[in-house]
Chain A
Amino acid sequence: MALLSSNLLFPLLMSSLDWLSTPGNGFFMARHDVTSPAPLEPHITECMSRDQVTFQCWWSPGNFHNLSSPGALRLFYIKIESPPSEWKECPEYVHSNRECFFDTDHTSIWVTYCTQLRALNNITYYNEEDCFRVENIVRPDPPVSLNWTLLNISRSGLNYDVMVNWEAPPSADVNTGWMRIEYEIQYTATNSTKWEAVEMQTQTQRTIYGLRTGTEYELHIRSRMPGFVRFGEFSDSIFIHVVKAPVKESTFPLTLVLVFGITGIIILVMTVVVFLQERLMMILLPPVPAPKIKGIDPELLKKGKLDELNFILSGGGIGSLPTYATDFYQDEPWVEFIEVDAEDAGTGEKEDTQRLLDVSQPVGHHMNTGFSNAVSFPDNDSGRASSYDPDLPDQDALLLMATLLPGQPEDGETSPEVVKTAPAPERLLIRTQTAGPQTWIHTDFYAQVSNVMPTGGVVLSPGQQLRSQESTSGTEEGTQKGKEHKGSEDSEEEKEKEEQFQLLVVDPEGGRQASESDAPQMFAPPSSPMPGEGYQTIPPQLAETQPAARAGDNQSPYILPDPPQSQVFARVADYTVVQELNSQHSLLLNPPPRESPPACRPQHPLKALPAMPVGYITPDLLGSLSP
């Protein structure tokens, strides 16, 4: 056990001695081989130069403690030069450190030195590898005056940059160019063990980016000769610490501004809302156009009041509707009603269509205003706020309006001139040449637009027989017998369709109603519905082929009927009851009653309908129609 302990103690003692032998030298690694165990014989520990002008060598006695006393070992060196020299003893001993110091005179750069240790008894301990050149053993001193300055702090206050400054070590002669030094900075956060190395540089300042506030950093620096491998010692550490500063002041005015701004905006908005509530409501929530028929109380148009509506529409009730309507619109001075001369109702002298189409016939003043009414639709609770702009319809529309409205003058003037009207300054749109109030002859309100000219004009087809109104039944005459003739005549023409569409001009006045009371005329239902087609128009040629001279003036946008001739065409009714939908979802209007008595026409869609003098179907009834 004693042996064991001594075995343990001995290496311990050895290592401690080793450590003691070179107190001044911080480097224990041998120059060439760090990993080999320390040799037991006396050896040179290290030779080092700081300034490339002088150098020192340290030795250790190794295991030979008897040689540890100062002077027991002597150091000899030799310079390998062209005139071969001899071994010389160390020029200057520093025995306390076991150091040999070579001053300027004894130092030669770029010359190989070899050293050896000799004991007093001339035993030489010599290692062949202990040869060196002074420039290879240079370890420059660490830089001095190391300090740092804060460059900036990031906006978030979390990071900052510093500038680190230092000076070259005074021992290294940089000014004359004798030594060139490059530096290496290393820094770490104090709570971390990993050092961060900045790349080598020859400048004496460096910016370090991205340090975190609140963290303390330790930084030190060391020097080296560029092109060589040995570093000098690290300098003393400096500590970098930046505390995150509260930056309330800079944001204070900003928050204040924000608060005031938001308050102001809220007040403004409230003011706007309160004072301009009405207009705002108008802008934001425009009124929805309600169903409206002039002269009829909108209340009646609501669901469930069909009977009353029908009653009114059929002309019953308290007096004629015009008056009713007049009363209804009493307070609205701009409403004027087109008066229809009831005497002429039923006279087929002049077909309504003719009158309708006879644009040259002067239109009464009433019509003017009526026109204006018709065109302007100045109803408050209608969709006025919508985009309908009544003020300036274009000319062709005006003409169309002119044709559609009844009110051919009785004199039957059929000058085929087209009444071109200049756009009226106000709402009066059409002025006619004739003088004198014209009485409205009951004419058919509707005419079918058979074609639209490329110039924009509209071609009406007056060929249909305008049936006067005595059919009060909802079904009509739509006989189109003539139409069918026509159709057969023009069967070669493609457009047999007979699905007519109705052009509705809603009048505010009684003229309309009057015609209603007379029973509307209806266009003939399709005799042979064309599959897959919706509404088609009858081509103008169709009108052309009608017998009798049709003063088809091609220049005019409409076809003027030949006034004196009686139309032998089938009556075209104003309204048509939608009977059913065919397989192609086309609306089948009333079938021609004469030719083929529509006995086989299923009438079941109408079962649910009350007896209606007019073909008025509410939307919910429409749904009950089945193809």
Chain B
Amino acid sequence: MINILFHLFFPTALRPVSCVWVVWVCLFFCNRLTMVGAAPICANAQAGQLCHVLSLANLFDRVIQHSARTHGISNNLHTEFEQYFLPSKNHIGRVSRNCHTSSILTPNGKDNAQRMTREELTEVILKLLLAWRDPLWHFHQSMAHHHDFNKFSSNKTLEMSNMVHELHRGVEKVAEKMQVLGIISNTVSNLASPEALLASDSSEWRLMRNYDLLYCFRRDSNKVQNYLKILKCRIVPEHGC
């Protein structure tokens, strides 16, 4: 788990530096426990296990940054895809097909999003991320065999797939932390909800063309980014909202 967190929060290029940074942050934030709430730290920690005590705000920041990057990559890929494969710009045929994540109920407006509870919002985020893990991986696989697609873009698809994976783990971590701190109730624990499983297991996405996948993912990544920001500004508003 620590390894995954590690991979999530620090990009490949910065890993050596990140080691030192993680240790430093641990030491630094170990002194700031009172900020985050009365819950005991590392309540479940086993003996000898390194306890990462990162503040929640920090965790949120990392996750939000990650989601912003994911969205950026999906944007780029989408634009490239349009240029490469769909010069005709025929949107109607494209938009008519729904995304496979349409079954997941998501707030489509500011008011709706603010009316949702924290738990619901967290769940939505997790569902979305879970629903995109497999499709993106397969997307990458299919694009890798496409020789027209340039190398750079195929690297992007892989990166995108990895990032979603990590983002999912990260949000899980955040949810865990929030539950530990008592910010949200423990109802979020069932991440493997039927809806989510359905979405990921459904073969709808297999029927989607690659372009639609990108189109849908671009939208969903923006959703995730937005929801995370709303959640953060609701829970820990002091840091840059």
Contacts and interface: CB of A to CB of B under 8 A. Distances in A.
Interface of A: 32, 52-53, 80-82, 104, 107-112, 114, 128-129, 131, 133, 135, 173-178, 180, 226-228
9 contacts: A104-B111, A110-B222, A114-B95, A128-B91, A129-B89, A176-B234, A177-B230, A180-B229, A226-B68
Contacts of A173: 110
B66 to A, nearest CB: 13
Nearest to A51: B110
B109 A53 contact: yes
A614 B230 CA distance: 121
B91 A177 contact: no
Q: How large, as a class, is the contact surface on chain B? A: 20 to 34
B68 A131 contact: no
Contacts of A107: 109
B72 A227 contact: yes
Given A173-B110, A227-B71, A178 B226 contact: yes
A292 B233 CA distance: 105
B133 interface: no
Interface of B: 68, 71-72, 75, 89-92, 95-96, 98, 102-103, 106, 108-111, 113-114, 219, 222-223, 225-226, 229-234, 237, 241
A128 B114 CA distance: 34
Given A111-B108, A175-B233, A178-B226, A80 B89 contact: no
A82 B110 CA distance: 20
Contact of A176 (B71, B95, B103, B241): B241
Contact of A174 (B102, B103, B109, B241): B241
A135 B222 contact: yes
Given A108-B108, A110-B219, A110-B223, A175 B241 contact: yes
A39 to B, nearest CB: 15
Contacts of A114: 92, 95
Given A128-B91, A129-B91, A227-B75, A176 B233 contact: yes
Contacts of A177: 226, 229-234, 241
Given A177-B230, A178-B226, A82 B98 contact: yes
Contacts, number: 75
A195 B118 CA distance: 45
Contacts of A174: 241
A112 B215 CA distance: 11
A131 B233 contact: no
Given A128-B90, A128-B92, A109 B109 contact: yes
B96 A80 contact: yes
Contacts of B109: 53, 104, 107-109
Contacts of A111: 108
A178 B108 contact: no
Contacts of A32: 89
Nearest to B230: A177
A135 B106 CA distance: 15
B54 to A, nearest CB: 20
Nearest to A107: B109
A498 B204 CA distance: 123
A129 B94 CA distance: 11
A537 to B, nearest CB: 79
Nearest to B223: A110
Nearest to B107: A109
5 smallest CB-CB distances across A and B, nearest first, come from A177-B229, A177-B233, A108-B108, A128-B92, A82-B102
Nearest to B69: A227
A109 B231 CA distance: 17
Contacts of B75: 227-228
A111 B219 CA distance: 9
Given A174-B241, A176-B230, A227 B95 contact: no
Given A110-B219, A178-B226, A131 B110 contact: no
A173 B241 CA distance: 10
